[in-house]
Amino acid sequence: MKLKSILNLVCITAVLLSCGNEKSEKSNDVMASTETVSFDYNLEQFADIKVLRYQIPGWELLTLKEQKLVYYLVQAGLSGRDIMWDQNYRHNLKIRKALENIYTNYEGDKSSVDWKAFETYLKRIWFSNGIHHHYSNDKIKPEFSSEYLKTLLQATNTVLEGEPFEVLFNDEDSKKVNQAKNVDNVALSAVNFYGPNVTNADVERFYKAKKSPNPEKPLSFGLNAQLVKENGVLKERVYKSGGLYGEAIDEIITWLELAKKVAENEAQGNALGLLIKYYKTGDLQTWDDYNVAWTASTTGNIDYINSFIEVYNDPLGYSGSYETIVQINDFDMSQKMKVVADNAQWFEDNSTLMDAHKKKNVVGVTYKVVNVAGESGDASPSTPIGVNLPNANWIRASVGSKSVSLGNITHAYNNATSSERLKEFVHDDEEYELEEKYGQLGDKLHTALHEVIGHASGQLNPGVGETKETLKNYASTLEEGRADLVALYYLYHPKLQELGLVEDWQAVGKATYDGYIRNGLMMQLIRLNLGDDVEEAHMRNRQWVSAWVFEKGKANNVIEKVTRDGKTYFNINDYPKLRELFGELLRETQRIKSEGDFAAVEALVEGYGVKVDQAVHVNVLERNKQFKSAPYNGFVNPVLVAVKNNEGVIKSIKVTRPESFAGQMLNYSKEYSFLPDVN
């Protein structure tokens, strides 16, 4: 599970998938960052995007062998970058190549409005790894004409014609992932996990027929394959060496083999060996073996995520998007956060879940704060701030999981922006002061509780299938909302102070509750066009959680909708009662997951998480016009440069910074393009 970053808004406290806040936490609480070096985190801004930079704290403390391991893992990750582009849309690689050729070779007027629009369009595509918006899933519309693009193509001797050209300007393939109700989600999604003419019914029938050798350890069918129809027969094209994306996967394998030679310990080396074997064979049993070994490998300074992992981009939740994150352990912060993991069983035992749905032995939950050294695929440029893996429920139950918070990413978010938007949307001075003083701490605790306790909690009823099978297109939003609710339930609890995590549990809890409701009912609407439904799984979960407790608390005025001077606010009047409501909803969401109750999850998500209060939306958009800060943030990666002697032996590895977003994107296309235009 992945915590995606969200709005560049300071006021979004306690949003698990948030970017952090638009101010720096100056207190010396146990969660505060220790980084003090002056650094300009802002790189550039265009359209609705702000591109940031991040540092790699502790790099100089690593041995050369450890730095080599990081370097090889980063190179492996970048080698698969184009896989994500092709997974996002079948024409992405051809379109990108053509537009990049124009960008680098056009010698005409670059001061015109049309050229500026072209440049912005290309940057938006780079940021989203394709022609569909990275968050809304809508096709990005160029603000220049098809005739202008034709002149650019002609001027640079670039070829882009037929469907790849026409789709930029027409209404075809308008949605990368379509999660709407009562439609054929597969047929109406542009994402490239399924071939032409494949339908929802085809996918469900195909994978329902597959049986795992051990039903108690179900394999992740569909995770590493594209499902297509050949002569009317459904067939998988497996992502592996010699299979689909084999050219890029062979490059990944080359770098992973080098990484294995400099592994920190035997357990890490064995896990890397299994990952290499998986890439070579595509065997899903090997994938599970790898995940068990990777989960158990908890020592060392370096860790990584690499492969086809999260299924959010698949409308039915089967095929995994390619992503990599390379991490260096932050020992000081990880030790402080370990206290949450050490008390996982207490949190499970004292939750509002039905007894039958509680785990009797929460095992193997490890939580670390790490510093990112490089990202690729679905993790870049838009990055998560936290990750909890593996996703297989049976591995979580029997072996455990790894939870990490990306400390330097969160720190960069927190120090890149100001808090002006917060002042506009808080209800009063008290809410503002709570956010300023406790917001970042609340966010960090929310991340820890969401990842360590939330995703690790609960269990399925005997005989109930995997969540992606029972809850289908609602599985992802239900799981993220459930983990949110676990965190929210405990964020207003004296146990946090007892554990030494906070000095004032009530103040931290209030700040976190304020931020969550403020975002779920108002702030995230900045990302939507007026009249749009909420589509993205995380946005949906924040809305259905917030809207449900708002409605259920109306009788007691738990959350009050306030209109003042023509502006809408949501003010929490009863924090203890709100906590009770979070607990009630947590109990119900776990019941839905444990029982595989599709009718209930459909009613919950469609009833509270999809439709937007249009009056509130108009109000929010109008008030937000005054702010120039972009609602979406992402990052360029530091550049790791291997310095070699005359014999080609690496003597040192330097960390440098890219000069521009466009420069890094063009360099990636030059150095790491291993796939043909059509796959």
Q: What are the tokens at 57?
A: 């704290």
Q: Is the pLDDT of residue 20 over 50?
A: no
Does residue 7 have a pLDDT over 80? no
The predicted structure's pLDDT at residue 362: 86
Residue type, 178: N
pLDDT at position 456: 87
DSSP 8-class letter at 460: P
pLDDT in the model for residue 678: 97
Q: DSSP code of 224?
A: T
**CA atoms in the 13 A half-sphere facing the CB of 605:** 32
**Tens-place pLDDT, residues 373-390:** 999 999 999 999 889 899
- Rounded to whole angstroms, the Cα distance separating 105 from 677 reads 20
* C-alpha to C-alpha distances, 126 to 100, 123, 530, 634, nearest whole angstrom: 10, 5, 25, 11
User: H helices then E strands: how many in the chain?
Assistant: 25, 15
Task: Judge whether residue 21 has pLDDT over 90.
Answer: no
Query: Of all residues in the chain, what percent are helix, strand and coil, respectively (each to 5)?
Result: 45, 15, 40
β-strands 49-52, 365-377: how paired?
A: unpaired
Mean pLDDT for the stretch of residues 347-359? 96
Contact criterion met (CB below 8 Å) for 61 and 643: no
| Separation between Cα atoms, residue 370 and residue 638, nearest integer Å | 16
pTM of model > 0.85:
no
pLDDT digits (tens, 9 = 90+) for 130-143: 999 998 999 999 99
Residue 28 has pLDDT above 70, yes or no: no
**Alpha-carbon torsion 30, 34, 38, 43, what sign?**
negative
- In angstroms, rounded to a whole number, what is the distance separating the alpha carbons of residues 579 and 583? 6
Burial (CB < 10 A; 0-12, 13-18, 19+), residue 137, is buried
Per-residue model confidence as pLDDT tens digits over 412-441: 987 886 678 899 999 999 999 999 999 988
pLDDT of residue 411: 87
Over residues 597-620, the pLDDT tens digits come to 999 999 999 999 999 999 999 999
The pLDDT value recorded for residue 307 is 98
User: For all residues of the chain together, what is the average pLDDT?
Assistant: 92
pLDDT tens digits along 435-477: 999 998 898 899 889 988 998 899 999 999 889 889 999 999 9
pLDDT band, residue 33 (cuts 50/70/90): very low
Q: Does residue 216 sit in helix, strand or coil? A: coil
What digits encode the pLDDT tens for the residues 210-232?
999 999 999 999 999 999 999 99
Please tell me the predicted confidence (pLDDT) of residue 364: 61
The pLDDT of 121-126, averaged and rounded, is 98
The residues, any chain, with a CB within 8 Å of residue 30's CB and separated by 6 or more, are 336, 500, 501
Q: Quick one: pLDDT at residue 245?
A: 98
* In the chain, where the domains are located: 2-44+330-365+372-634
The pLDDT score that the predictor gives to residue 126 is 98
The answer to whether residue 31 scores a pLDDT higher than 50 is no
pLDDT value at residue 338: 83
Residue 416: what pLDDT? 82
Q: Quick one: average pLDDT of 297-326?
A: 96
- For residue 2, list its beta bridge partners: 387
CA–CA distance, 45 with 579 (Å, rounded to integer)? 38
The number of beta carbons lying within 10 Å of the beta carbon of residue 208 is 11
Per-residue model confidence (pLDDT) at position 378? 97
pLDDT score of 35 more than 60? no
- pLDDT on residue 3: 61
